[in-house]
Chain A
Amino acid sequence: MYDSKRLKELIVEVMIKISGVASIFIVAMIFLFLLKEGIFLFKTYKPLDFLFGKSWYPISEPAEFGILPLILGSILVTLGAAVISVPLGIAAAIYIAEIAPPRLKEILKSGVELLAAIPSVVLGFIGMVTVVPWIKSTFHVSTGLTALAGSVILAFMAMPTIVSIAEDALHSVPKIYKEGAYALGATHWQTIYRVVLPAASSGIMAAVMLGIGRVVGETMAVMMVTGNSPSMPRGILYPVRTLTATVAAEMGETVQGSDHYFSLFAIGIVLFLITFAINMTADLFLHRKR
């Protein structure tokens, strides 16, 4: 009796353990796979030329695999999205957590979650037919397929992450802090601005970082609206090409085992490292809170 119970216990324990380590194991395998494929590029191509080269002509003879324009393109689009989504997202989180009446609060929360459920290709399509022509006519540029279009669409994708995590952080600020502020005669807004926001700041930073992490890795919507020209970015109103769009667009046709193929995996490594760093930063902020 006792033994069979013990065995059951052991089996359950092992199963749970496997589930627990599975995701870490898979991440490690993915990274090793990327590394294994991407590393071949550097047999023939210098890592510095790869990271800081200014031209991306993967199918020319000789091919050039400089990803600096792509890295800058990703950064530009991401920064633009952050500038739009961070103030909006935090303001929305403050409203939902502190000001909105309970009923409206529930509606707003599910609304934000709904926004997260829209597939990125749908957002990209909507951007292509609304944001892109709008940018062209408003800013009188030769084409609306620009970094700005990507930023606007991505801001919508980052919003749900930022709002829901920041709202959680604001919500978990102990009630006594607020009561203390009121007792000192602070107004509602003063309490939010001087007490609640600073108390929740590390959670809010984590929300921002996770939102940005989502933006960096996004592919489909960006590919549809940014124009994808691999020139060095000159501003938010010019077309740019991002790292993710490059991999997605070029994987289909490359000769497997060619330098071009390996270079796409090398881009994968760069992307992996960027998102890893962003998530780590978010994690640091989250832990500081506790």
Chain B
Amino acid sequence: MPKNKIFINGILAGVLALMVLAGPACAKKGDSLQVKGSDTMVNLVQSWAEEFMKKNSDSFIAVTGGGSGTGFAALINGTCDVAMSSRQIKAQEVGLAAKKGVTPKEFKVALDGLAVVVNKDNPVSGLTLDQLAHIFTGKITNWKEVGGRDAKIVILSREVNSGTHVYFKEHVLLKGDTKSTAEFSPEALLLSSSQAIADEIIQNQDAIGYYGMGYIGKDHKALSIAKDASSGYVYPTVDDVLSGRYPISRPLFIYTQGEPASDVKNFLDFILSNDGQAIVARIDFVPIKK
């Protein structure tokens, strides 16, 4: 009997070793270019990839989402060649990368205007950044405090895994002040996608939410935003995001491992070319140049 047991243990160890070895080995495929990261950017990068593959029939680009953090993790672990991200890389991630001998290089590839949206029957049409911060932190809880009707404000936010959530928090709630301790109100509903926010906005007269301006539909009303009470209210349009007059917009990034070479370099050149930037505008993001 003890012999039997040793035999069984041997087999189990073998199976386990196989599972461990097989994991990382099949993550990277042949000559194809693996792009991974931000869900916000999946459609954009996919369009670039399709156009690029049409022009260069011998290259193959695979694009997967999962979130900006997932993209960085994959880049650091060497399971993807290019990471897409809707936020800048964090110091902690740069440190992790350095430990593994990876030096991520950053490229700004597009801009995204964040629209603040309400139900189309909501009488409010413009807010200042301060009012916005107070609404999302829970200091203002009733629409009548900002000129609307007497109803409780329902705050809609993206989940904390979203680059959009992080950006909104840093630039609207904290206003870039890293020492500020402002937080999203714990009452805020955290929804898992921009589409979920868009759907709830249509149903709910008292809701307020935010998402990339590409999502603004005819049943939503995007608010005009003012930096402060004395400056003018600006509606999110491509021109005003590009000029910087619209106050809530963010850059979108591509990160490569070290200096880009061969296929990665060609792909990046294409993204930054006029053709590539035309695609940006086509799917409702903002090109970095015109």
Contacts and interface: CB of A to CB of B under 8 A. Distances in A.
Contacts, number: 106
B7 A252 contact: no
Interface string A120-142: 00000000100011001000001
Interface stretch (B64-72, B211-219, B225-233, B277-285): B64-72
Interface stretch (B52-60, B189-197, B241-249): B189-197
A101 interface: no
B93 A249 contact: no
Nearest to B162: A253
A17 interface: yes
Interface in B201-227: 203-204, 206-207
Contacts of B8: 14, 17-18, 21
A96 interface: no
A59 interface: yes
B51 interface: no
Contacts of A60: 181, 183
B189 A252 contact: no
B73 to A, nearest CB: 5
B148 to A, nearest CB: 14
Given A255-B90, A257-B96, A143 B186 contact: no
Contact of B189 (A228, A249, A250): A228
Q: How large is the interface on A (under 10, 10 to 19, 20 to 34, 35 or more residues)?
A: 35 or more
Contacts of B187: 229, 231, 239
Contacts of A239: 187, 189
A133 to B, nearest CB: 6
A256 interface: yes
A223 B192 contact: yes
Given A14-B7, A14-B11, A249-B161, A255 B69 contact: yes
A133 B203 CA distance: 8
Contacts of B262: none
A256 B79 CA distance: 14
Contacts of B92: 255, 257-258
Contact of B163 (A253, A256, A257): A253
Contacts of B4: 10, 14
Given A14-B7, A142-B154, A253 B200 contact: no
Nearest to B72: A255
B265 interface: no
Nearest to B89: A255
Given A14-B8, A228-B189, A257-B96, A250 B159 contact: yes
26 contacts: A14-B11, A18-B8, A18-B12, A21-B8, A21-B12, A59-B160, A59-B169, A136-B204, A142-B152, A142-B204, A143-B189, A143-B200, A224-B192, A227-B191, A228-B191, A228-B192, A229-B190, A239-B187, A249-B190, A250-B161, A252-B66, A253-B166, A254-B69, A255-B90, A256-B96, A257-B92
The 3 closest A-B pairs by CB, nearest first: A252-B67, A253-B161, A231-B186
